[in-house]
Amino acid sequence: MTAPAAGRSPAGRQVVVLGGSGFLGRHLSAAFRQAGADVLAVSRTAPAQRHLAPGVRALAMDLTSAGPDRLAGLLAEAGADLVVNAAGAVWGVTQGEMRRANAELVGDLVEAMAGLPDQPRLIQLGSVHEYGPGAVGGGTAESHTPAPITPYGQVKLLASDRVLAAARSGALDGVVLRIANITGPGTPPGSLLGGLAERLARLREAADPDPVLELAPLRASRDFVDVRDVVDAVLATAAAAADLVRGQVINIGSGRATPVRHAVERLIAHSKVAARLVERESGTARSDTEWQQLDIAKAGRLLGWQPHHDLDGSLGALADGTRAPIREGRNGHE
């Protein structure tokens, strides 16, 4: 696949990664630094330097309470050429906290960036959950009208809409990447596969002769994408010419729906734990659609991007990593 005409290489650019100490943020910060960018990772609590790639600077700031003026000051002082918003909250928070961290923060960020004299590009990391139910057997394209059915999908859509409205009005150089379910090395335990990997690691340590893994019924099919492919997509978006990506929604996923039961069975196999899988009704309502599959053709056209890691390899990397588990916070992309 031939890449479209590029804008700027990351080398020498000032990149600010919001949510930079979290799961995706750490991967992004390391990749931009390796590409030659000067990277500032901003998060609620600054991590120890050993948790960041060499050369990445860290800053502690509660982004949810910073407000537009303080955010503008931060970006101006950093001389930001590019801002990647990997901040957010999904697990272990109230709906009010979820709205503040995912939607209201982005509103403050858009206001802050629109007033800067030298306007950076904003890459907003959205979610497949913004779309709501997909049509079984088909892929959801960017032209699909979003109809999210979870609180997380709803607040992520509010954030995306704010970025797109500002970009399309000319007030912001902004683009939204709508990302499938991320997996691969270091997947946080708040997610289904990350939590399962952690449980399998504990079963392995316990050396139970008859380990049982009880889960809610695994009826759904999901689009899973490796975190390393997501990072490649973000770097490609950072380099793309403004007239290609400004005001665009671009899907980033594997382009296929995998039965969740199959993913779980493969993760169990990679864990080397002979666990019996028991599916049991939990009595709680299902919270999301049964079919997620993104149409990723637009990412190929605009970014020259396509995924290179298959799900089985991602699950193997996740299982290997649980031998030294990464402790994650309560945030989503973080």
d(CA 161, CA 313): 34
DSSP letter string, 14-52: EEEEETTTSHHHHHHHHHHHHTT-EEEEEESSPPPGGGS
Q: Is 131 a catalytic residue?
A: no
What is the DSSP secondary structure assignment for residue 188, as one 8-state letter?
-
Start-to-end Cα distance in the chain: 31
d(CA 294, CA 297): 9
* Catalytic position from the list 32, 152, 224, 305: 152
What is the DSSP secondary structure assignment for residue 102, as one 8-state letter?
I
In the numeric block, the tokens 């490649």 are attached to 232
Q: Which of 127, 118, 26 is nearest to 79 (CA)?
A: 118
Q: Which amino acid is at 66?
A: A
Q: Which run of H or E residues covers position 318?
A: helix 311-321
Give me the active site residues, please.
Answer: 152
